[in-house]
Amino acid sequence: MKIAVTSASGKLGASIVKHLINLVGKDNVIGVARTPEKAAYLGVEIRKGDYNSREQFNAALKGVDAVLLVSGMDAPDKRIIQHRNVIEAAIQNGVKKIVYTSIVGAEEGNAFSPIVQTNRQTEKDLQNSGLEWVIGRNGIYIEPDLEYLETYIKEGEIRNCAANGKCTYTSREELGYGYAKMLTEDKHHGQVYNLVGEPVTQSQLTGYMNQVFHTSLIYHSVSVADYKAERVAALGDFIGTVIAGIYEGIKEGANDVSSDYKVATGRAHISTIDMMKVFKETLD
């Protein structure tokens, strides 16, 4: 069984490839990447695939039995078409199954919602494709927050507009394991899984960071409007607005969802503090 993983040059794609190699061996895994040279280190066959090019995916998915489609990074209006390029190339090549990395979040009500909507449209496209499908809705990755630690330390605080909202974080490491299982086991066909850990508030998150990284940060809750203005000034209109929308969604409960991780993988998702410890080990 040949399994292709798109966006293999990215961090999530690479984690999925790594876990798949453990389950089925490197000869059965193909990485597909827009920039193949960035994925060469993975030690599997790498093929070229830009989501904007149906032709590249027609070639990349030859002889492939199952595809892991990592959701794209472009603006919402482009993503649906990009994902369709992969789904249609899969159908043309006789691929049997697609597993898609979707997202947890509110479809209406905040500045992240347009992105959630594009993910939901791709979910529908897959469900109507005639292929076997499995959909994972990813929680927010914990790693980018931890990579931001130096800034938090400089500022003495974690500041955002999530207030007391709870967020079910996950990690690329946990997701890599989950998607490898969903790709290789038939019992997941036709399922939509929330791939998330336990719900935590920003205050709890701050406390766990203090324990693991020996910091003394506080959590500072600010209004949505203030946080948006700050992020837009720091990151520009598009990303700044999206980040503020993500934290607004957390405030409103959009990320306080029940976890299907154990059903998807056969084991419990690790705790938030343990995800931090795993991340810290990668730094040492």
Q: Which of residues 135-194 bind ligand NAP (CB under 6 A)?
A: 138, 140-141, 172
Choice from 10, 165, 176, 199 touching ligand NAP (CB under 6 A)? 10
**Is 12 or 116 the residue whose CB approaches ligand NAP more closely?**
12
Q: Which residues contact 150 (CB under 8 A, 6 or more apart)?
A: none
- Check: CB of residue 155 under 8 Å from CB of residue 124: no
Cα gap 268→169, rounded to integer Å: 14
Interface with ligand NAP, residue 38, by CB under 6 A = yes
**Is 11 or 62 the residue whose CB approaches ligand NAP more closely?**
11
**Is 144 or 190 the residue whose CB approaches ligand NAP more closely?**
144
Choice from 18, 19, 34, 188 touching ligand NAP (CB under 6 A)? 34
Report the nearest approach of ligand NAP to the CB of residue 203 (Å).
20
**Is 73 or 218 the residue whose CB approaches ligand NAP more closely?**
73
Residue the block writes with tokens 């027609």: 58
Residues in the chain: 284
**Is 216 or 237 the residue whose CB approaches ligand NAP more closely?**
237
- Residue 224 CA: distances (Å) to CA of 133, 165, 238: 37, 13, 16
Q: Which of 240, 173, 169 lies closest to 205, judged by CA?
A: 169
Interface with ligand NAP, residue 58, by CB under 6 A = no
- Amino acid identity, position 11: K
Choice from 26, 40, 45, 52 touching ligand NAP (CB under 6 A)? 52
Interface with ligand NAP, residue 261, by CB under 6 A = no
* Residue closest to ligand NAP when measured from CB atoms: 10
Cα gap 242→240, rounded to integer Å: 5
Report the nearest approach of ligand NAP to the CB of residue 178 (Å).
13
Q: Which residues contact 141 (CB under 8 A, 6 or more apart)?
A: 169, 170, 171, 172, 175
Q: Which of residues 70-129 bind ligand NAP (CB under 6 A)?
A: 70-73, 103
Residue 160 corresponds to which tokens in the numbers above? 């955002």
Q: Read off φ and ψ for residue 27, nearest 5 degrees.
A: -70, -15
Residue ranges binding ligand NAP (CB under 6 A): 7, 9-13, 33-35, 38, 50-52, 70-73, 103, 138, 140-141, 172
